[in-house]
Structure formats: structure tokens, C-alpha cells
Amino acid sequence: MVSSFKELIDEPELNLASLNSEARFISSDISWDNYEALLAKLEDNCHYRLTYLDGVLEIVSPSKRHESVKTRISFLVSLYLWKKQIKHFPLGSATFKNEAKKAGAEPDECYCIGEEKDIPDLVIEVVITSGSVSKLETYRRLGVPEVWFWQRDQLKLYSLRDSSENEQASIFVQTYGYEEITASKILPQFDITLLLRCLLISDPIQSNNEFEQNI
């Protein structure tokens, strides 16, 4: 079992024995250089998701349930974008980082809408077990305009407020500068209620048909 960051980074084969079922490895006081070194070591390993914020590093090994939900959401969102002929660039779990802001993340899924950009317009996160690093704060520092969270069979949508707005400091402090919204601002015609209803249908064929027939 990996018990420290030094053991993790020094392990020749990086056998993360403790990360086998939506498990998490968390270590603090990690330098940016060490974070970059681990990213390089995991470059060809797509199984782990790394989040870095203010020296705290979190590594998640997603469970089968996590990956199943993530794949279904991604399929339906991609189906919508294709059917509506919305130009988009799916970037999957690409790494986004900003050394000056001390933040880095690998979303479950993400998309640039209209044109490819350095930072995605939309990030989707599937939450099976809560982590210790705030994803919203990480994405705020990276400048992600919109974040969707799937948790406990519910979808929560967050839109990044303009940092110049004075109300942000008091009203949106608990959501790290994001406003919780009921409809997407990135995809304003997207029926979130339909997406949620279809995701709760256990039969994937029935779910996909229901979604396609109603978009």
C-alpha cells in the first residue's frame, strides 16, 4: 500500500494498491515540481484522476460505477451536440493546470464549444465519494465557465460569475464564485430534466432512445 507521496513517486511501476475501488490518495505540501513529475509519470496511464490545489494533491481511482455513469453522460451530451450540429471539441480527461494559480485538474469529461480553447467551456464531474479538494475552487482558478456535477442521482449546474461583480464575495462565497443554475448557459437549449430522466433509466438502449426522441 502506498502511504506517502515519496513512496508514490519513487515506485518504479507505480502500483497504487490502495486505489482500487473509488479510493483516494491525498497528500499535502506537494510542490508544483513534484505534481508535474507525477503527471509525467502517469502520462500513459488514463486510469487515475489528479487534482492539485495549493499544495494538496488528490489522486482518484474511479470505480466501475463512476465510469459507467460518466460514459453514459458523455454519450448523451455528445449525441445532443451532434444532433443539434453544435460545433464542439470533446477533450475527455485532459490535464489543465496553472502554476501561478496553484491549481490543476483532470475532469471526468469536458468540452470546448464553438472552437478549441486552452480551457474547456464545460466540465462534467461524477461524484461517487466526496474528496477533500474543492473542485469548484480548482476550476474557478483555471477559469472554467461552467461545471456540472452528477451526485446521488442528481445533476447540479454551476456557472462562473464575473470576478468583478461585488456580490460574488457575499452571495457566492460558499460556491467559490460560481452560481448554481437550473439551465445551462453554455448550452441554453439543452433539456437538463430530460438528461436526468434518461440517466435514471437502467436500460441503456431505452435510455438512449428516449433521449434521442425528445431532443
What angle in degrees, to the nearest 10, is found between the helix axes of 204-214 and 64-83? 30
pLDDT for the residue numbered 20: 46
pLDDT for the residue numbered 17: 46
Q: 25 near 59, Cβ under 8 Å?
A: yes
Tell me the domains of the chain and their CATH numbers. Answer: 5-61 (no CATH), 64-214 (3.90.1570)
Q: 19 near 60, Cβ under 8 Å?
A: yes
Distance CA 168, CA 212 (A): 38
**Ramachandran region, residue 127 (left: φ > 0; alpha: ψ -120 to 50; beta: rest):** beta
pLDDT for the residue numbered 91: 96
pLDDT mean for each 10 residues of the chain (215 residues): 56 49 83 94 83 94 91 97 97 96 97 97 90 86 97 94 63 83 97 97 95 96
First and final CA of the chain: distance in angstroms?
47
pLDDT for the residue numbered 19: 45
The predicted model scores a pTM of: 0.87
97 DSSP β-pair partners:
104
pLDDT for the residue numbered 128: 83
